[in-house]
Amino acid sequence: MDSWELSLAPLPCSPSCPGPPEGACPSSGTLGGSRRKDWSCSLIVASLVGAFGSSFLYGYNLSVVNAPAPYIKAFYNESWERRHGHPTDPDTLTLLWSVTVSIFAIGGLVGTLIVKLIGRVLGRKYTLLVNNGFAISAALLMACSLQAGTFEMLIVGRFIMGVDGGIALSALPMYLSEISPKEIRGSLGQVTAIFICVGVFTGQVLGLPELLGKIWFYTNSIFGKAGIPPEKIPYITLSTGGIEILAAVFSGLVIERLGRRPLLIGGFGLMTLFFGILTATLTLQDHAPWVPYLSIVCILAIIASFCSGPGGIPFILTGEFFQQSQRPAAFIVAGTVNWLSNFAVGLLFPFIQKSLDTYCFLVFAAICLTGAVYFYFVLPETKNRTYAEISQAFAKRNKAFPPEEKIDLAVTDDKMIGKPEPDSSTLDSYVKNGVV
């Protein structure tokens, strides 16, 4: 705790304290009341409205683009034939569709890189408000592309919507982290992940029965390999959206009781376990009729493990690890890694699946295991801690002191050499005079 926070801390009650003003030393019986006051109406409304206009749109645009894929490709083909007098060749059509899907991640990366500049001028709140302009512009471009007969408008709209998502996933977690009390910072931070899951589920529902499930990248082919009939795949994939929401809500309810470390490390550990089981069931799926259904259970368990910890807690930790002046830069780095990883998984997974076949998920199992082990040795618990206390926890784990703490220790040592400890009367006089 730094000197400024120490100056604001309430003094402990003691028998020698000659009666402070009434209310200066609250009793332990007011703890529940103070926690209830943390969840104020304005705080809840601000978080819900901010998340609905930000992370909900991100989740929705992740999943909704795949349902109308045949119609979008037909529109591309018609537009191309109208301009050039002949239909486009299959390779060009595949390229246009790939650009349409992947341009969203490129826009997200651009949004992540510019959020610091916008936030410096407008602040967190007005950044979120102005960011809705990107979403409205993108929606208008995509909605008018069919009437205009210009498929480029659809691609540009996807790019602008990606910019909206990149800004939202940086500005919203920062805003929620800064407006929430430390006692509920984790629960309120999970609002970001919950609304992403709600957005994904909404896109999946609106896409029935032609659902492809963009959020988990090629789940259709995974379910197909598991032996699920094609007509049942959309509805099984829809269940992934429901599992996402339930797991994210569960995490938000228990995060302040269990802490960040157990949920994050446990999530990665369970994902490692179920990825291994999924590999075995996919390999042995022809040996018994019940094995494909065990594969479905493993996939749902992987999604639940992800959403209960690794899916949302990194947004919270990024806001808790850094002071306010360093936080925008930290979110730029975290957002860049996030968007590049999304782009890489979506691009490379078909090739990994083709090369390794049923053993493709062992790659993800190894990554999850590495993450669990790394966080076990490096990550301190941040539950119910101030930013200064979190910095000190990192310093202890690294066996180092923050620079200001070293200076304080050196000054204290110099002052204590050759000097007796102050007696209790001197301390009492300090307390009476408000020195602390």
The answer for residues whose C-beta is within 8 angstroms of residue 177's C-beta and 6 or more apart is 185, 189, 316, 319, 320, 327
DSSP letters for 306-361: HHHTTTTHHHHHHHHHS-TTTHHHHHHHHHHHHHHHHHHHHHHHHHHHHHHGGGTH
pLDDT band of 74, cuts 50, 70, 90? confident
CATH number, domain with residue 135: 1.20.1250.20
User: Residue 166 domain-assigned?
Assistant: yes
The dihedral over CA atoms of 176, 179, 185, 188, expressed in degrees to the nearest 10, equals -50
Instruction: Supply the pLDDT for residue 382.
Output: 84
Distance CA 383, CA 168 (A): 24
In this prediction, residue 271 has a pLDDT band, given cuts at 50, 70 and 90, of very high
Q: Indicate whether 358 belongs to any domain.
A: yes
Sign of the alpha-carbon dihedral angle for 192, 364, 62, 308: negative
Is-contact 5 388, C-beta < 8 A?
A: yes
Between CA 295 and CA 222 the distance in angstroms is 9
For the chain, what is the mean pLDDT?
Answer: 76
pLDDT tens digits, 161-197: 999 999 988 888 888 888 888 788 888 888 888 888 8
DSSP helix/strand/coil, 210 = coil
Peptide bond just before 209 cis, omega within 30 deg: yes
pLDDT value at residue 164: 92
pLDDT tens, position by position, 290-339: 887 888 889 889 989 998 889 888 888 888 888 777 888 888 888 888 88
pLDDT of residue 222: 59
Judge whether 30 and 170 are in contact, CB under 8 Å.
no
- Say if 65 falls within a structural domain: yes
- Torsion angle, alpha carbons of 332, 333, 339, 344, to 10: 160
Q: Which amino acid is at 46?
A: A
Mean pLDDT of 226-232: 64
Percentage of the chain with pLDDT > 90?
A: 14
Please write the tens of the pLDDT for every residue from 76-91. 888 888 888 888 888 8
168, 55 in Cβ contact below 8 A? yes
Dihedral (CA of 216, 222, 224, 229) sign: negative
Q: Do the beta carbons of residue 227 and residue 285 sit within 8 Å? A: yes
**In this structure, is residue 418 part of a structural domain?**
no
- Residue 63 structure tokens: 């999943």
The conformation of residue 183, written as its DSSP 8-state character, comes to G
Q: How far is CA 209 from the centre of its chain?
A: 29
Q: Within a 10 A sphere around the Cβ of 330, how many other Cβ atoms?
A: 18
Predicted pLDDT of residue 141? 92
pLDDT band at 372 (very low <50, low <70, confident <90, very high): very high
CA–CA gap between residue 366 and residue 278 (Å, rounded):
14
> Between 88 and 18, where is the model more confident?
88
What is the number of alpha carbons within 13 Å of residue 91 lying toward its C-beta? 0
∠ Cα 200 201 207 (to 5°): 90
Q: Check residue 227 and give its pLDDT.
A: 61
Residue 190, domain member (yes or no): yes
Report pLDDT for 370.
Answer: 94
**Domain tally, the chain:** 1
Domain hosting residue 236, numbered range: 48-378
In a domain, residue 401? The reply is no
pLDDT digits (tens, 9 = 90+) for 95-122: 888 788 888 888 999 999 898 888 888 8
Residue 406 within any structural domain of the chain = no
pTM of this prediction? 0.66
* Assigned domain for 325 exists: yes
Give the contacts of 54 (CB within 8 A, at least 6 positions apart).
128, 131, 168, 169, 171, 172, 192, 195
pLDDT at 421: 42
